[in-house]
Amino acid sequence: MRLLSINVSKPKPISHEGKIIYTGIFKEPVSGTVMLREMNIDGDGQGDLKVHGGTYKAIYGYPIEHYTHWQQELGRDDLSYGQFGENLTVKGMLEDEVHIGDIFQIGHTVKLQITQPRVPCFKLGHKMGSAEFPKIFLKSKRVGFYFRVLEEGEITAQDDIERIELSSYPMSVTNILSLRYFDTNNQTDIKKAIKQPALSPSWKKDFNRLLNL
């Protein structure tokens, strides 16, 4: 596994439904060594902290392997690192191969733990020039995942990524996403998902709602 690109952006204004809002989705690659902190990467920011950022969505990772799919699906050849709003463009970390609770080390010190899948909002549609794209993105299950930061440190593009701890109750990112949006009547597995220690509180709340608890 490898870190291919580190992407950041300060919040920028966009027009949506007649209003000006701010979004950090316009990520651009940065070179050199960058400090990854508990809540963010230096130079990065979120426009709406009510739904973005925080402990369980501090860092967003997206697999480079999906870029080819989207190039073909959308008929585009202009997709570049950070295209989907990810902080980290990674290789070898597909959603059906990594699990909620897995812990990864990047470089010498940084340790990250997967906490939930990414669910796209209208801002991704704005970035991609298609209001329908968030629905297509979610349906594809090529959504990437969020990390919480266990240990801060410096990272550099092309750093190796090592899985140093496998979840004690391995359920893949794809599995968790499917239970929330596509397999919502699977109460047996939803009950297992709720017991995932590393799963973000907001997703546990959603699963409890599906169980009517």
pLDDT band at 50 (very low <50, low <70, confident <90, very high): low
pLDDT band at 212 (very low <50, low <70, confident <90, very high): confident
The model carries a pTM of: 0.93
Domain ranges of the chain: 2-167
Burial of 161 (0-12, 13-18, 19+ CB in 10 A): buried
What homologous superfamily is domain 2-167 in, according to CATH?
A: PK beta-barrel domain-like (2.40.33.20)
Mean pLDDT, the chain, whole residue set: 94
| Structure tokens given for 126 | 């704005």
pLDDT tens digits, 160-190: 999 999 998 899 999 999 999 999 999 999 9
Q: Is the pLDDT at 51 greater than 80, yes or no? A: no
pLDDT band at 53 (very low <50, low <70, confident <90, very high): confident
